[in-house]
Amino acid sequence: MTDSQPVDLAHLTHTLRDDNIVGVTIGWVDNNGVVRSRTVPTAELAAAARRGVGITSVFAVFDSHDGITFAHGGLATPSGDVRLIPVIDTTSSVVPLAGQPGLAWAHGRQVSADGSAWPYDQRAVLERQVRRAADAGFEVRAGFEIECALTRESDGLPAHRGPAYSANAMRDVDEFVVQLLRDLSRNGLGIGQIHAEYGGSQLEIALSPLDPLAAADAQVLARQTIHAAARARGLRSSFAPLPSSSNAGNGWHLHTSLVRDGHNALTGDGEHGLSETGRSYIAGLVRELPGLVAVTAPSSGSLLRRRPGYWAGAFGFWGVENREAAVRLVPATPLLGSEHTNVELKACDASANPYLALAVTIAAGLSGVADAAPLPRPVQEDVGGWDDARREAAGISPLATTHDQQRENLLSSALVADVLGSDLLGAFVACRDADAAWAAGHTEDELLESLRWIY
Ligand code: GLU
Ligand code: MG
């Protein structure tokens, strides 16, 4: 939503047709982190923008295996339809896809059949938190880092052979990297860098910081762009939190910072270059971690990724540039400048809905700011090497690794309940329960295989 002039849909349609765009894919993300979509012919775009296209209301209770759970009271039958509307705030909201010639992309919002707000629309949840941040005097900057494991489509072998972070590994995927850099840029997506990560055949792409809605949109479009470039080069990209039990996980780390009066509000004269706002923002994140990560790393795969020693945020603590911490402060330095301060949430992955993940993260940080939450001491070590007694003495607990623990944390978080609202929370929990029931009937390898390609 913007205050600017509404987009001239007839003119936009002509422009798209002139660019040989025959269809527009309207994408949205469900409660499992799966991108669902409808594609309309370009001639139907204006009608879709006004009235939406019909989709079943039970998309809110689809689980990670395309099962539908009817355990949530609000959506307990197959009856009901809602409208999926492409978000067209500006003429560049509809993006001709560099890697899929003839098609364009638009991000979708879901509204009730009568056009009123639908409580299960994840995008609206983030819009609400952005407004709350603005009411508190802040703009939020956010950016996701995308890790993925690339394999060859033909034989399933690794697309690169390492070593980690090496130019030699990158050489194995040269053509893909060139195409990807070109397509990301043509699709309007900025990145900081791309590199070979430490996991087998793993790559990381760090998206540039943006406002929260744009950052979530960029994360969704980046997946589409990566999948398309991989396909064009005979590769396949797994975004799953844990592509296989013998490999490192794929983290989709979420970096956030606050801006007030045009300047980074986390930066200050205090310890670690933090302001009081910065201290309490981190404190809020750390305090809310158990409930928070049930939304930012919610799936059965997320629970398996959460292992000590993998820089995946297995324990609930923070540190300064400590990559084993669930919350990592990236401080300003004289070299980087005072605008650089940001906070990385490691416990975040592709199975999170990015709109919900950002909404709960912003809410957690700002809850800390609102009540000037006290900041615990940072920990610079790998607490996985400590014994339980030492961790307990330091007030550090492992984050959940079972469905039951995570469910309890989700349901006992007042913050998550407030951010999601009772309808969406009910549907979200029902999805998690359905996933857990599926996992209980399968081996770990079957589970990882079932999630490997869905994100
Ligand atoms: N691959 C790790 C994860 O699962 C993160 C590695 C890193 O810190 O970049 O989150
Ligand atoms: Mg990484």
pLDDT at 176 over 80: yes
Task: Give 181 Cα–ligand 2 centroid separation in angstroms.
Answer: 18
Tens-place pLDDT, residues 44-94: 999 999 999 999 999 999 999 999 999 999 999 999 999 999 999 999 999
| CB contact set of 327 (below 8 Å; sequence gap of 6+) | 282, 285, 286, 289, 313, 317, 318, 319, 343, 344, 345, 346
DSSP 73: G
Strand intervals (E) in 14-91? 23-29, 35-41, 53-56, 81-86
Phi and psi angles of residue 285, each rounded to the nearest 5 degrees, phi first: -60, -45
Residue where the block lists tokens 């300047």: 263
pLDDT at 3 over 70: no
Residue where the block lists tokens 């801006």: 259
Contact 229, 97 (CB under 8 A): no
Q: What is the pLDDT of residue 393?
A: 95
pLDDT at 108 over 90: yes
* Ligand lying nearest the CA atom of residue 344: 1
Find, among 60, 69, 79, the residue nearest to 421 by Cα.
Answer: 60
Residue 196 pairs in a beta bridge with 203
| CB contact set of 169 (below 8 Å; sequence gap of 6+) | 160, 161, 162, 163, 196
| pLDDT band, very low/low/confident/very high, at 161 (cuts 50, 70, 90) | very high
| pLDDT band, very low/low/confident/very high, at 98 (cuts 50, 70, 90) | very high
Sign of CA dihedral 112, 116, 119, 125: positive
* Ligand lying nearest the CA atom of residue 251: 1
Contact 387, 69 (CB under 8 A): no
What is the mean predicted confidence (pLDDT) over 9-16?
97
Residue where the block lists tokens 């992955």: 349
Task: Give 300 Cα–ligand 1 centroid separation in angstroms.
Answer: 18
Our mutation pick for probing the ligand 1 site, out of 195, 207, 310, counting the most ligand atoms within 8 A of Cβ, is 310
DSSP 265-323: TTB-SSGGGB-HHHHHHHHHHHHHHHHHHHHHS-SHHHHHH--TTTTS--EEEEEES-T
Task: Give 354 Cα–ligand 2 centroid separation in angstroms.
Answer: 17
- Alpha-helix residue ranges (DSSP H) falling in 104-171: 122-135, 167-171
| CB contact set of 320 (below 8 Å; sequence gap of 6+) | 272, 328, 329, 331, 378, 380
Q: What is the pLDDT of residue 5?
A: 77
Q: How far apart are CA 103 and CA 95, in angstroms?
A: 9
Q: What is the pLDDT of residue 414?
A: 98
Contact 433, 32 (CB under 8 A): no
| pLDDT band, very low/low/confident/very high, at 4 (cuts 50, 70, 90) | low
pLDDT at 1 over 60: no
What is the mean predicted confidence (pLDDT) over 127-149?
98
Q: Which protein residues are within 6 Å of ligand 1, measured from CB?
A: 147, 199, 248-249, 251, 305, 310-312, 323, 346
Q: What is the pLDDT of residue 31?
A: 98
Task: Give 225 Cα–ligand 1 centroid separation in angstroms.
Answer: 21
What is the mean predicted confidence (pLDDT) over 326-333?
97
Go through the domains of the chain in sequence order and give each one's CATH number. 9-118 (3.10.20.70), 128-451 (3.30.590.10)
Tens-place pLDDT, residues 354-402: 999 999 999 999 999 999 999 999 999 999 999 999 999 999 999 999 9
What is the mean predicted confidence (pLDDT) over 205-224?
98
Average pLDDT, the chain: 97
| pLDDT band, very low/low/confident/very high, at 2 (cuts 50, 70, 90) | very low
Tens-place pLDDT, residues 225-263: 999 999 999 999 999 999 999 999 999 999 999 999 999
Q: What is the pLDDT of residue 186?
A: 98
Residue 346 alpha carbon, nearest atom of ligand 1 = 10
Residue where the block lists tokens 């033909």: 154
Residue 147 alpha carbon, nearest atom of ligand 1 = 1
